[in-house]
Structure formats: C-alpha cells, structure tokens
A and B are shown apart, each in its own frame.
Chain A
Amino acid sequence: MNVIETRELRKEFSVRVRRGLLRRERRTVAAVDGVDLTVQRGELLGYLGPNGAGKSTTLKMLTGVLHPSGGRVTVCGLTPVPQRIQLARRIGVVFGQRSQLWWDLPLRDSFELLRHIYRVPGGEHAARLRRCRDLLDLDEFLDTPVRQLSLGQRMRGELTAALLHGPQILFLDEPTIGLDVVSKQAVRGFLAELGERGDTTIVLTTHDLADIERLCRRIVVIDHGRVVHDGGIDALHARYGSQRRVVVDFDVAPAAPPVLPGVHLESATGPRLVFTLDGSASVGTLVSALTALGGLRDLSVAEPEIEEVIARLYRH
C-alpha cells in the first residue's frame, strides 16, 4: 500500500535579484521541479541531494507546510495542505535544525502537552514513552528544561516527541546534524530498530551517508529539484561504476599478474599489487588466480565508498 504518492510535484519561489542601484528583477526559481515519488508502507527511504537540491522543500510539501506550485501529492490518502490538521495526527516530523519542544519547560512536560495536543490515550502514551526512555536513555534529563539540554539530548527528545502519537510516517530532516559519534549511534540504532519493525514508514534526509548505509534499503537522490536516482544502494554502485578494490601482498613480486575480464591492475609496488574490479567481476575468480601464482601472504577486499559514488552523482 502506498502511503506517499507524488506526481509532477513542483514548488517555485519568487526571488528578487539586484539589477543596478535601484532596480530589482523578479525571478522564479524552481526548488522542486516535477518530482514523482511512490513510497510504500513500512519502507525506510533515504532522500538525498546536495544543499539546495529541494529535499527539505519536498518534505515541507509532503507534511502540508508548503503549498505546491503544481502537481499532485497524497500522504496517507490525504491531500497535505487542505487536510494538514488531520494529516498531522498521522505523521511525525523531526527537523534537525528546529525544535518542536517547549523551550522553557522540562522534557516531561513537553511530552505531556503533546499527549493532549494529539489526543493520545494515557495508556498508549505511557507505553510508548517507556520504550523511548529505555531505547534513548531519556531518564537522566527527563526533568531538565529543554533550553538546558545538549544537542544530542534534545535530538533524542525530538525523536520521542515525534513518535508518541504513533505516526504512520516519520519524516526526518537531517536528524543527526551536529551530533557527536555516540549520539549519532544512539539515533541510528533507534531508527534501525524502528525500521525493522516495518509498521512505521520513515523518510530520512541527511548529508551523513553513514546514516544511509546503515539504515536505508532504498535511496532517492534529488538534484536541482529533479529525481536523478531511485533505487537501492547496489543499483547506485552499478550505475555509477563503483569498483571494489583487492589489495594483495606476496612474498616476492610475481612476474606476471593474472589478467581477467573486468579486473584491472591499479598499481604494483614491490610485492604489493592493487586490483580494481568492475561490478560484474568475481573476487573469488581473482583470488583463485592469485593463489595459483603461489607465495600469497595477505589479501584484503575493500567495498566501494558510498561517499565517492554520491559525490560522483552530484557532479554528474
């Protein structure tokens, strides 16, 4: 069942450009330029793109905050802008750079306020809060005013706040921005567990590709407001020619390194050889050929870096 559907979704902004001392020219900029997107229930989708690509704008249209300039969009069977208040009960949103918590109040009070705002029965609220307290270690700062929380603590609070009403879809806009390694791991671990359950659809935008590798089976890449890739990480590697590398150390440099289809000798420095493999080439075949040469001391296989692939995609 599709929980998100967009067809030719567009958002244009009008900007004024300086043209001389007093003259200003009005220009229309398409932040989102015809995005087609279908997301099924339970998916954990990574929504990537360089700065200014239109990721956050898309999310704001999906959540009913921004009016689309064109196209169609339905989320949970609702049209986001005219049905924003109904939709708000079915979705949870975390914007990494904004807070939905009450600055002057303790975290516990913010959660209690949200219970009434979303009209969540007391039992359901208590059970969800208990689970979040366990998984995100909230107890030590539950009674601290939000203004005194560290960024990592606040983000754990934001995630909890977004989930206490049991949303069908969770939108996360850069939820790990500015977090230290430990906090990032806590957030990722929490989202991984949430994703594995499969009853909450998660749409995640991030610049931290470790988030994507750890969490997302499907990624959608957007650039200049258009979708440039929609598929798994493997498909991305295949499309942009990602290469695995095999580093081999021999006792003595071999006289004739093996020549196999899809395998390229990148460098040969003394007894160390470095091969790169195209997507179709088999590591097993190469290892067999190397073993047959004799004198093999050490071997390691490096998977392609996702950063490299995404950077190549952005530059494309």
Chain B
Amino acid sequence: MGFITATADRLPIRNFTESAGLIRTLGASGFRRFSTYRQATVAATATNTMFGFLRTYVMLAVAGSAAALGGQAAGYDAPRLVTYVWAGQGLIGVVLLWGWTDLADRIRSGDVVTDLLRPVHPVLGYLLPDLGRAAYALLTRFTVPIAVGALAFDMYVPRRAATYPLFALSVLLALLVCFAGRFLANAAAYWLLDSRGVLMTWAVCSGVLGGLYFPIRFLPDWAAAVLYFGTPFPSLLQVPLDVLVERDPPLSQLGLLGLQAGWAVLLLWGCVAVQRRAERRLVVQGG
C-alpha cells in the first residue's frame, strides 16, 4: 500500500462498531489522562475526606437538635445525614463541581482551533473524555471517602434494592448536567475571553445551591421548589444523594430522576447551540 495515499471519503454513516470504538477510546483517554496525576488524586481525596469529618459533625449536631425536639431534620435522621455527607464528599470529584477550565484556556490561547478540525462535534469531544475522567474518580475519589465514612460513623444503607441502580443512573445524569454547566461557563470565554468571573459564579452556585454545604431540603418548601425547577443546581448533588438515602418514596425518586434528565437534555442542547453560535463569531486568538 502507498504511503499517505489519500483515501476516498467514507460515507458518514456511523456503524455501531466504529461509534463504540470512538466512545471507548475517547473515554479511555480521559481515564488515562487523569490517572497520570496520582499525587493530585491523593491530595484531592485527602481534602475531601478531611472536610467530610467537619461536615459530619455539623450535620450530627443538626440531627441531634432535631431529635431532642422529637423529630427529624427536614426528613433526614442522623445515619441518613452521615451517608448524605460522605457520599456527597465522594461525588464532588466524580461530577467535578469546579476546577475544569480546559475549554476556556483553549479559547484564550487559540488552541480551540484544533478541536474544530476534528471530525467529532466539540461537545462530544469534551464529554466523552469527561466520562472517562469520572470513571477514574469513581474508583478513587468516591470510594475512599465512603470507606472512611463507613468506618468512622454509623451510615445509612439503602433498604430498597431498586435504589442502587437508580442511584447509579442519577449519578450519570448529575455528571451530564454538571459537564454541560461547566462547558457553558467555559464557553463564556468565546465572548468574554476572561471567563474567571463566570467560572467563579458557577463554582459558588453549584456548591451552595447544589446541596453540598447543606441539603436544599433544609430550606422552606417554596425556596427548594424554585431551586429544583428553576435551576439545574440541585440536580448536581442533592438529587443523587436524596435517591441514595431514600429520603423519598420510590415514585418520588423516579420523579427526581425525570427532573434531572430534563435538565441534562436542556443543558446539553444549550451546549450545542452555544457552540454553534460561538463558531459563527469565532476569532482565533494569536493568529
């Protein structure tokens, strides 16, 4: 066979094997990329674990006060709050609430041009490696805090078998929502070039309004409803954690997953639309 013999263009029909190969390889690239930095993983896991202890003691105080009054804290008893905290600490690295600036950096430097030269939609080109990254985080940053929490405290273990697959699905949807949110915050750099303000706003909102610092259910019902239906933030952590601790009956769990799925579809569509619009007004920085 000749050397760089130009090949005839293949039909753009994606057969299953080729698409599966693309998904697997791009996903694996994200896994390998993040597994390269093992010390960073150790440092991040240690930090998540340490904050797990601090948050647990605060939540146990809340649960204790509620118990003294003869009730529960917004439907959570102490073991449920412990599971909520430690699973939440583990999920921080899986959904990756903050710290992802790859796209914004590439827009600023002009390197985003090479993303546009590949025969893969840029949103998919970033999403698939992010799934691989999340798989790596699931094995490391998720398991360690859960194990430490289980050893140190009395954690709630789900009673219904269906909760486990529902939780897995909810984490996947949370990851999609979080990826889309991060992508949109980064894409602001197409217009602003310096998107640090937007990224900071995303980081603060995703933590405070996402249920990381306290369960959103602690808020009055009307405020929680506004957050659930008006913003994607509770879909990041609050929903998967509520599914895991079985705070609601099975039908409500399904409803929460439906809400998450709605946000995932809406935000991913938003990513595609924003990317299309950004490409129309693209100025490649640095010539």
Interface residues of A (CB under 8 A from B): 13, 56, 60, 63-67, 76, 81, 84-86, 88-91, 93, 95, 97-100, 102, 104-105, 109, 112-113, 115-119, 124, 127-128, 131, 145, 163, 165-168, 193-194, 197, 199-200
Contacts and interface: CB of A to CB of B under 8 A. Distances in A.
B116 A84 contact: yes
B280 A67 contact: yes
B7 to A, nearest CB: 4
A109 B26 CA distance: 11
Given A56-B287, A119-B10, A200-B6, 19 more contacts: A65-B116, A65-B282, A66-B284, A86-B9, A89-B9, A95-B113, A97-B286, A99-B111, A102-B29, A102-B33, A104-B33, A112-B25, A113-B26, A115-B25, A116-B21, A116-B22, A128-B3, A166-B5, A168-B6
Nearest to A147: B36
B110 A98 contact: yes
A115 B36 CA distance: 22
12 contacts: A56-B284, A65-B117, A65-B284, A67-B280, A67-B282, A88-B117, A88-B118, A97-B287, A109-B32, A116-B18, A124-B7, A194-B3
B113 A98 contact: yes
A105 B3 contact: no
A100 B114 contact: yes
A194 B121 contact: no
A65 B113 contact: yes
Nearest to A83: B12
A137 B9 CA distance: 29
Interface string B17-57: 01001101110010011001000000000000000000000
B27 to A, nearest CB: 11
Contacts of A85: 12, 119-121
Contacts, number: 112
B4 interface: yes
B282 to A, nearest CB: 6
A267 B151 CA distance: 95
A32 to B, nearest CB: 13
B111 to A, nearest CB: 5
A145 B36 CA distance: 10
Contact of A163 (B4, B29, B111, B118): B4
Contacts of A145: 36
A89 B21 CA distance: 17
Given A88-B119, A119-B18, A127 B1 contact: yes
A66 B282 CA distance: 7
Contacts of A167: 4, 6
Contacts of A165: 7
Given A90-B9, A194-B4, A119 B36 contact: no
Given A168-B6, A200-B6, A104 B119 contact: no
B25 A113 contact: yes
A168 B9 CA distance: 9
A67 B121 CA distance: 17
B3 A131 contact: yes
B283 interface: yes
Contacts of B220: none
Nearest to B23: A116
Contact of A197 (B3, B110, B283): B3
A244 B48 CA distance: 74
B189 to A, nearest CB: 17
A131 B4 contact: yes
A99 B2 contact: no
Given A89-B9, A197-B4, A105 B114 contact: no
Interface in B151-166: none
Contact of B33 (A76, A84, A105, A194): A105
Given A105-B29, A118-B119, A128 B284 contact: no
Interface string B263-285: 00000000000000001101110
B193 to A, nearest CB: 13
B102 to A, nearest CB: 10
Contact of A128 (B4, B9, B26, B121): B4
A290 B31 CA distance: 75
A76 B8 CA distance: 11
A13 B29 contact: no
A112 B7 CA distance: 18
Nearest to B116: A65
A124 B5 CA distance: 10
Contact of B114 (A66, A95, A104, A127): A95
A21 B118 CA distance: 43
